[in-house]
C-alpha cells in the first residue's frame, strides 16, 4: 500500500529490531542508503542490521562494515531500500522474508509489494529520501552516514552527470560534505579507479559494439567466456552500460552481459532523450527514463543482441 513520507517516518520511529534489505547485484545507492539508515536508526537507540547480500563487492564493503546481521537473525520489522520489485531481492532475502513491512524506493517502475510502500520518482537516488528521513527522525549526520548518503546519490547520478541530477541533489551532497563526507576519495574510488581487467572490458566493448541508425544507437555484448578469461570480478563489470552513451551522437545504448549461469543475458540500457525504461519494459524490465535494465532468457548471444538492436531501432524511429 502506498503511503506518505510522514507515515514512513512514524512507522520507523515506532519500530525496533529492524532488518534492512538491499537488492541483488547491489550498487552504491542501495548499499549507501541502507547503511546510512541503519547507522541512523542505531544512533537513535534502535536495533538495526543489514541482511547479508551475497553479491556485495569490495568497492562498497567499507560502507557496510559492522552492519550485517547473522542469517539466523529473526527480524521484528523488515524494510527494503531501493528495491523496485520483489524479484530484485537476493535469493537469501526472498526465501527468508515472505512478507516485507516497508519498501522505500525512487524508481518509476516501483511495485507495491510491501505492506507499506513509499516511492519518490523525482528523487535522483534513494539516498535523497534517506537523507530527508534521517533528518525527520531527528538524527544528525555523522561522517559515516554522510559518506554513505554521498555515495548513494553520487553513484546513481554518475557523479552528478546524469539528467536525473537536480538542484536538491547538490544540496544533499553539500550537506554530506559539510558533515564530513570524503567526497574526493569516494569520487575517485567510484568513478576513476580501474583495474586492468576493467580497462580491458571497456576496450572490448568499444571494439566490438554494433552501431544502429547512423550511429544514434549502440549495442555491445560481453560473454561469460571473455569476462572469466580476464578474471574480471563483478566490481569490474559494474556500470559498464554507461560507456555507450558517452560516444558522440549515441542517444541510446545497450550492453548485454551473459550471466554466470550462462542461461541469460542481463541488459543495461542508457538513453539521452529517449525513455529506455519503456524499451526495457517490453522485455519485462524497467527502471528510469535515462537508465533501465531487463533480462533475456532462452536466447543465444546473437539472438539476444538481435532482439535488443531491433528494440533500439524501433525506439529511434519513433
Distances (CA, A) of 132 to 95, 242, 307: 31, 28, 41
Range of the domain at 168: 5-191
Count of other CB atoms within 10 angstroms of residue 242: 16
- pLDDT tens-digit readout, 69-95: 998 888 899 999 999 999 999 999 999
Last residue of a domain, one of 167, 191, 215: 191
Paired strand residues for 80: 21, 103
pLDDT of residue 151: 98
Instruction: Judge if 156 and 239 occupy the same domain.
Output: no
Give me 190's grid cell: 567510484
Distances (CA, A) of 296 to 79, 91, 182, 265: 29, 19, 39, 5
- pLDDT tens-digit readout, 185-228: 999 999 999 999 999 999 999 999 999 999 999 999 999 999 99
Instruction: Judge if 54 and 127 occupy the same domain.
Output: yes
Instruction: Judge if 187 and 212 occupy the same domain.
Output: no
Instruction: Judge if 290 and 255 occupy the same domain.
Output: yes
Whole-number Å distance between alpha carbons of 51 and 94: 11
pLDDT of residue 278: 94
How far is CA 95 from its chain centroid?
21
Instruction: Judge if 233 and 114 occupy the same domain.
Output: no
Mean pLDDT, residues 271-296 taken together: 93
Mean pLDDT, residues 248-264 taken together: 96
Instruction: Judge if 162 and 211 occupy the same domain.
Output: no
Last residue of a domain, one of 166, 191, 216: 191
> pTM for the whole thing?
0.86
Look at residue 288 and tell me whether its pLDDT is greater than 90: no
Mean pLDDT, residues 125-134 taken together: 98
- Beta-strand ranges (E) seen in the chain are 18-21, 48-50, 77-81, 102-105, 116-119, 210-212, 217-222, 252-258, 264-271, 286-287, 291-297
State the pLDDT confidence band at 18, using cuts at 50, 70 and 90: very high
- pLDDT tens-digit readout, 140-189: 999 999 999 999 999 999 999 988 999 999 999 999 999 999 999 999 99
State the pLDDT confidence band at 238, using cuts at 50, 70 and 90: confident
SS3 assignment, position 149 = helix
Whole-number Å distance between alpha carbons of 107 and 122: 9
Last residue of a domain, one of 191, 223, 257: 191
Instruction: Judge if 218 and 167 occupy the same domain.
Output: no
Instruction: Judge if 173 and 217 occupy the same domain.
Output: no
CATH number at residue 288: 3.10.310.30
Instruction: Judge if 187 and 201 occupy the same domain.
Output: no
Average pLDDT, the chain: 95
Number of domain units in the chain: 2
CATH number at residue 79: 3.90.1640.10
Instruction: Judge if 222 and 172 occupy the same domain.
Output: no
Instruction: Judge if 210 and 310 occupy the same domain.
Output: yes
How far is CA 102 from its chain centroid?
18
Instruction: Judge if 96 and 37 occupy the same domain.
Output: yes
pLDDT of residue 72: 84
Amino acid at each position: 500500500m502506498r503511503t506518505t513520507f510522514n507515515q514512513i517516518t512514524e512507522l520507523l520511529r515506532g519500530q525496533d529490531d529492524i532488518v534492512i534489505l538491499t537488492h541483488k547485484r547491489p550498487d552504491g545507492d542501495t548499499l549507501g542508503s541502507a547503511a546510512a539508515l541503519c547507522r541512523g536508526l542505531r544512533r537513535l537507540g534502535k536495533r538495526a542490521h543489514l541482511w547479508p547480500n551475497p553479491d556485495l563487492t569490495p568497492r562498497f564493503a567499507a560502507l557496510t562494515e559492522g552492519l550485517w546481521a547473522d542469517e539466523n537473525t529473526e527480524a521484528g520489522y523488515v524494510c527494503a531500500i531501493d528495491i523496485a520489485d520483489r524479484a530484485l531481492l537476493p535469493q537469501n532475502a526472498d526465501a527468508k522474508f515472505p512478507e516485507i513491512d516497508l519498501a522505500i524506493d525512487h524508481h518509476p517502475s516501483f511495485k507495491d509489494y510491501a505492506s507499506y510502500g513509499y516511492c519518490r520518482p523525482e528523487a535522483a537516488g534513494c539516498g535523497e529520501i534517506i537523507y530527508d528521513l534521517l533528518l525527520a527522525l531527528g538524527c544528525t549526520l555523522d561522517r559515516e552516514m554522510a559518506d554513505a548518503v554521498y555515495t548513494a546519490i553520487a553513484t546513481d547520478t554518475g557523479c552528478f552527470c546524469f539528467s536525473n541530477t537536480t538542484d536538491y541533489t547538490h544540496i544533499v551532497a553539500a550537506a554530506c560534505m559539510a558533515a564530513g563526507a570524503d567526497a574526493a576519495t569516494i569520487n575517485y574510488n567510484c568513478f576513476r579507479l580501474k583495474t586492468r581487467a576493467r580497462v580491458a572490458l571497456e576496450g572490448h566493448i568499444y571494439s566490438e559494439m554494433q552501431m544502429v541508425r547512423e550511429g544514434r544507437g549502440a549495442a555491445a555484448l560481453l560473454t561469460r567466456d571473455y569476462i572469466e578469461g580476464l578474471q574480471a570480478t563483478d566490481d569490474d563489470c559494474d556500470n559498464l552500460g554507461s560507456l555507450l552513451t558517452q560516444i558522440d551522437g549515441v542517444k541510446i545504448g545497450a550492453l548485454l552481459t551473459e550471466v554466470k549461469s550462462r542461461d541469460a543475458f542481463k541488459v543495461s540500457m542508457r538513453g539521452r532523450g529517449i525513455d529506455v525504461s519503456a524499451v526495457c519494459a517490453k522485455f519485462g524490465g524497467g527502471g528510469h527514463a535515462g537508465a533501465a535494465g531487463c533480462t533475456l532468457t532462452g536466447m543465444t548471444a546473437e539472438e539476444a543482441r538481435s532482439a535488443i538492436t531491433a528494440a533500439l531501432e524501433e525506439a529511434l524511429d519513433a
